[in-house]
Amino acid sequence: MCGIIGYVGKREALPIILDGLHRLEYRGYDSAGVAIVGTKGAGPNAEGGRVKTSRAVGKVAMLASSCAGKTLDGTAGIGHTRWATHGKPAEKNTHPHADCTKQFYIVHNGIIENHEELREELKKQKHVFKSETDSEVIAHLLEDAYKETPVLEQAVQSTLRKLRGTYGLAVVSSYEPEKIVTARMGAPIVLGLGEGENFVASDASPLLSHTRTVLYLEDGEMAVVTPTTHTIVTLDNKAVERGTETIEWDADRMQKGGFPHFTLKEIMEGPEVIENTLRGRLITEDGLAKLGGLQSISEKLREAKHIIIVACGTAFHAARVGEYMLEEYAGIPVEVEFASEFRYRKPVLDEHTIVIAVSQSGETADTLEAIREAKRKGATTLGIVNVVGSTIARETDAGIFNHAGPEISVLSTKAYISQLVVLALLTLTLGRERELSLTMGKKIAEALQELPKKIATILKQEKEIKKLAKKYAKYEHMLYLGRKYNFATAYEGALKVKEASYIHAEGCGAGEMKHGFIAMIDKEFPTVAIAPEDSVYDKMLSNIQEIKARSGRVLAIATEGDTRIGKLADDVFYIPKTIEMLSPILAVVPLQLFAYYLTLERKLDPDRPRNLAKSVTVE
């Protein structure tokens, strides 16, 4: 969703902020803006001391061209990419927002829940609002607070006490030009520390080309950043001592590396991703997985009687596969729930419940709140997270990192397969402590090790998938059908198609088809049937026959060497054989490529799906 970047140092701020905004584009946005503070003398009337802004609807490139015609010099500034919540995408709603005197500029991620009442009060005091956003109240409150206490951080502090809701916030003012004040409540803020320069951002991606030394704010904290100092305090002014962390991802991994889109690059990284997720974690001869991040809760895991997995979107589909793996091989009852539902109902949890959050970003608002709710109720929490240092990674009692590397594309692809691999590793760990035999443990471990090669063979057939996409791009609707382990694959395949190509695709458990969905089938409504040779293969063949009997076209995903399915389906894409529980990891790869090429056939940009944000940090 919205992105924030701030810079204060010796260099010109504008190019650094524009570059940072480009690197934040992946989060999804509809407009962007900058505010640069002139530093040749402080104060609103001093030469160069004023804050200058530029804002544009559309891409960061539009903002860059609008900046080109202006003098925006200065060595401190803030920038923002906005994903509209309150007020449509329009220049007046684009951040930064200013107060009436144009001396305080703010960029804000999150939602101010009491903005309407604050706006009414401020209007009574003759404040004039320029936007329809919830965020603008912050700038006007600051204007008033600074009159009372003319120190920027204190004015920010007293303003924040009046807000209800969520914020990741950065503030600059012409009164104190070499300073950025930033604060966090429910929306992440990370400080990047350099030599004679410092940064503020909503995630580490815009910082990596400048520094790897970072420091994450916690909820209820505020930081004051100058070129050479950073201090953190709580909202009630208690000093916070926090050590820095080093980010291991390098900036190169966040580039397209010769691929036309991040989406394709990340799908193609599949084999390497699995190798990285598995590295150092399998003890094949003992049929075991070694997951260091679980040590602190090993006792709890041994005594666990119940697992609940909370997640959203693609991560939710990974969790559904995890449920089948864990129940079949570890024998523990598992429930999978949308995090957004879990947090609002009254789940029954106790000290023998493990609540697992699956989240690529580690910042999804609903998943984070679900974990907080689980902790309040006494459950042990475990994060399966890709982004190191993210809020879910830090707030859960224990964790397993995916090691998939930065996922920039809004479409989650490589993170999904790494989530499935992590869930398989967790199954091995919990299973071997319970009823999973050494023989089966070894079989799973060996099959996991073979996955990278098998994915590579699928990826080599990219051209075949491209041809299939050409055939199917004309359809407006598609059904994705799967059973048992590939029930979730059907939903995931359909989600990928919807997100990027805007073809209406629906996932359906194959057993459910006759309970309603079959009414939709005709020659204009093709089906993608995920039918590897597994324990439900014959049932899938029956489903395919039923579709064919109603003139539906079928594209099947089947196992290499299958001689039956080709006689029924109109098109078949073959994947290598693996054990049943790992088949979703292979089956989803052609579906990811299929969605990518359908999107290109429809002349759309898979990296920039409309209305979507990479990380959903508001409810």
The verdict on 314 binding ligand M6R (CB under 6 A) reads: yes
Single-letter residue type at 473: A
Question: Does residue 206 sit in helix, strand or coil?
Answer: coil
Residue 359 binds ligand M6R (CB under 6 A): yes
Known active-site residue 130 = no
Q: Pick the piece of the chain touching ligand M6R (CB under 6 A) from 163-171, 435-443, 477-485, 610-618.
A: 610-618
The answer to whether residue 390 forms part of the interface with ligand M6R (CB under 6 A) is no
What is the spatial distance between Cα 546 and Cα 558, in angstroms, rounded to a whole number?
17
> Which own/partner contact pairs does 146-150 have at CB distance under 8 Å and 24+ positions apart?
146/103, 146/104, 146/173, 146/175, 150/175
Phi, psi of 543 (to 5 degrees): -60, -45
Rule CB under 6 A: choose which of 168, 271, 313, 389 binds ligand M6R: 313
Residue nearer to ligand M6R on the CB measure, 427 or 615: 615
* Interface with ligand M6R, residue 2, by CB under 6 A: no
**Shortest distance (Å) from residue 359 CB to ligand M6R:** 3
Q: Could you give the string, one character per residue 219-258, with x where binding to ligand M6R holds by CB under 6 A and - elsewhere? A: ----------------------------------------
Q: How far is the CB of 412 from ligand M6R (least distance, A)?
A: 4
Cβ neighbourhood burial of 376 (10 Å; 0-12, 13-18, 19+): exposed
In whole angstroms, the minimum distance from the beta carbon of 392 to ligand M6R comes to 8
Q: Which of 410, 422, 459, 531 binds ligand M6R (CB under 6 A)?
A: 410
Count of residues of this chain found to bind ligand M6R when the rule CB under 6 A is applied: 16
Cα(87)–Cα(483) distance, integer angstroms: 43
Q: Is 473 helix (H, G, I), strand (E, B) or coil?
A: coil
Q: How crowded is residue 511: how many other Cβ atoms within 10 Å of its Cβ?
A: 15
CB of 507 to ligand M6R, least distance (A): 13
- What is the C-alpha separation between 160 and 112, in angstroms, rounded? 10
Q: Which of 52, 179, 300, 614 is catalytic?
A: 614
List b or e across 319-338, with b for residues whose CB sees 16 or more CB atoms inside 10 angstroms: bbbbbbbbebbbebebebbb
Residue number, 222 or 423, with CB nearest to ligand M6R:
423
Q: How far is the CB of 616 from ligand M6R (least distance, A)?
A: 5
Q: Does 391 bind ligand M6R (CB under 6 A)?
A: no
**CA nearest 263: which of 611, 595, 617?**
595
* Residue 589 C-beta: closest distance to ligand M6R, Å: 14
- Tell me if residue 567 is catalytic: no
Q: Is residue 367 near ligand M6R by the rule CB under 6 A?
A: yes
In the range 464-503, which residues lie near ligand M6R by CB under 6 A? 499
Task: Tell me how far apart the alpha carbons of residues 488 and 508 are, in angstroms, rounded to a whole number.
Answer: 9
Closer to ligand M6R at the Cβ: 60 or 312?
A: 312
Q: Judged by CB under 6 A, does residue 321 bind ligand M6R?
A: no
Report if residue 615 touches ligand M6R, rule: CB under 6 A: yes
> Cα separations (Å) of 39 from 44, 53, 180?
11, 14, 13
For residues 436 and 497, which CB has a smaller minimum distance to ligand M6R in the complex? Answer: 497
Least CB distance to ligand M6R at residue 316 (A):
7
Among 138, 274, 315, 468, binds ligand M6R (CB under 6 A): 315
Q: Does 31 bind ligand M6R (CB under 6 A)?
A: no
Which is closer to ligand M6R, CB of 31 or CB of 360? 360
Neighbours of 173 (CB within 10 A): 29
Query: Among 67, 138, 66, which residue's Cα sits nearest to residue 96?
Result: 138
Token pair for 517: 């969905």
Region from 6-14, 177-185, 353-361, 538-546 binding ligand M6R, contact rule CB under 6 A = 353-361
In DSSP terms, 231 is beta-bridged to 224
CA–CA separation, 356 vs 369, rounded Å?
A: 12
From the list 208-216, 280-288, 300-308, 611-619, the region that binds ligand M6R by CB under 6 A is 611-619
Structure-block tokens of residue 466: 């491209």
Which bin fits 220, alpha (ψ -120 to 50), beta or left (φ > 0)?
left
- What is the number of the residue whose Cβ is closest to ligand M6R? 313
Q: Least distance (Å) from ligand M6R to the CB of residue 18?
A: 26
Closer residue to ligand M6R, CB minimum distance, 79 or 313? 313
Q: Is 361 in the site for ligand M6R (CB under 6 A)?
A: yes
Q: Report the nearest approach of ligand M6R to the CB of residue 615 (Å).
A: 5
Of the candidates 511, 466, 507, 502, the one whose C-alpha atom is nearest the C-alpha of residue 604 is 502
Got the DSSP string for 285-309?
GGTEE--GGGGGGHHHHHH--EEEE
Q: Give 50 or 614: the residue with its C-beta nearer to ligand M6R.
A: 614
Comparison of 109 and 159: residue with beta carbon closer to ligand M6R: 109
**Token digits of residue 243:** 């050590």
Active site residues per annotation: 2, 614
Question: Footprint of ligand M6R on this chain (CB under 6 A)?
Answer: 312-315, 359-361, 364, 367, 410-412, 499, 612, 615-616
